[in-house]
């Protein structure tokens, strides 16, 4: 589903990703971990079409993703329909006046019919257990509720690829347990999950493949479970 061919990315003063070649397959959960600053978040931005390789190529479902292609509204809309991204700080993704509006926002952008939007909003409010906060402004939610609201908004678009940057960071033990169980519950042959974490216990519980990214900004090893 996702292929990286010798992908590198550099900022003006530093390298963030260095010569990464890898294939991510459907039906698996890949967990990246490594030291702070090794390039995980930059790699995730590349996978989501927010940044583009300085060198090398990125293929999504057999098609190269480039800055030129992403300037096309039609192409970008199709791409973002198939890939969902929850940032480490999920609060920056939440900007509407209520949780239910947050979930509906992306669905309106996809051009779905009103009936389908209502159906999906209700489905993902139930699935993410947000019934009690559905009418509240996202910035008034707890850390765990914000994570669940951001997940609901992304999952409602029903992407085949889900990318999660440090999904349990900042959560208490109960929140971490809930997120762990939820990720395990959505794993399926037609979904690709890629996430980053520093938590070893979390990795053991969810990973199909563990990828170690080193301080040289490369993939050091890939360990199947």
pLDDT tens per residue, range 39-51: 999 999 999 999 9
Whether residue 169 has pLDDT greater than 90 = no
CB 15 within 8 A of CB 8: yes
Domains and CATH numbers, the chain: 2-224 (3.40.50.300)
Mean pLDDT over 49-74 rounds to: 96
Least confident of 85-94, 151-160, 202-211: 85-94
Share of the chain above pLDDT 90, in %: 80
* Distance separating alpha carbons of residues 199 and 113, to the nearest angstrom: 40
CB 6 within 8 A of CB 18: no
Q: What is the model's pLDDT at position 210?
A: 96
Phi (first) and psi of residue 87, to 5 degrees: -70, 160
Least confident of 87-96, 179-188, 207-216: 87-96
* pLDDT tier, 20 (very low <50, low <70, confident <90, very high otherwise): very high
Question: Which of the 8 DSSP states describes residue 25?
Answer: P
* pLDDT tier, 88 (very low <50, low <70, confident <90, very high otherwise): confident
Distances (CA, A) of 196 to 29, 43, 156, 158: 11, 10, 21, 21
| Closest of 221, 218, 147 to residue 183, by C-alpha | 147
* Distance separating alpha carbons of residues 43 and 135, to the nearest angstrom: 35
CB 194 within 8 A of CB 24: yes
Contacts of residue 140, defined as CB under 8 A and 6 or more positions apart, other chains included, come to none
* Distance separating alpha carbons of residues 84 and 60, to the nearest angstrom: 13
Question: Checking DSSP bridges between strand 161-165 and strand 192-196, what pairing results, if any?
Answer: parallel
Q: What is the pTM of this model?
A: 0.92
What angle (nearest 5°) sits at the alpha carbon of residue 11, between those of residues 214 and 77? Answer: 95
| Closest of 105, 149, 108, 106 to residue 125, by C-alpha | 149
Distances (CA, A) of 210 to 31, 139, 187: 5, 33, 15
């Amino acid at each position: 589903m996702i292929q990286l061919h010798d992908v590198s990315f550099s900022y003006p003063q530093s390298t963030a990703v260095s010569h990464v070649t890898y294939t991510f397959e459907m039906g698996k959960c890949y967990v990246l971990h490594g030291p702070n600053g090794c390039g995980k978040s930059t790699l995730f931005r590349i996978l989501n079409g927010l940044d583009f390789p300085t060198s090398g190529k990125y293929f999504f479902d057999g098609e190269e993703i480039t800055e030129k292609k992403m300037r096309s509204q039609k192409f970008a809309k199709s791409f973002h329909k198939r890939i969902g991204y929850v940032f480490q700080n999920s609060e920056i993704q939440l900007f509407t006046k209520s949780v239910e509006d947050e979930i509906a926002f992306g669905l309106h952008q996809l051009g779905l019919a009103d009936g389908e939007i209502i159906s999906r909003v209700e489905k993902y409010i139930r699935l993410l257990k947000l019934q009690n906060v559905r009418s509240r402004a996202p910035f008034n939610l707890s850390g765990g509720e914000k994570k669940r609201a951001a997940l609901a908004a992304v999952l409602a678009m029903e992407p085949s690829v889900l990318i999660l940057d440090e999904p349990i960071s900042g959560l208490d033990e109960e929140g971490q347990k809930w997120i762990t169980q939820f990720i395990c519950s959505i794993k399926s042959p037609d979904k690709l999950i890629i996430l980053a974490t520093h938590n070893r216990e979390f990795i053991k519980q969810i990973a199909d493949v563990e990828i170690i990214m080193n301080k040289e900004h490369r993939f050091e090893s890939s360990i199947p479970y």
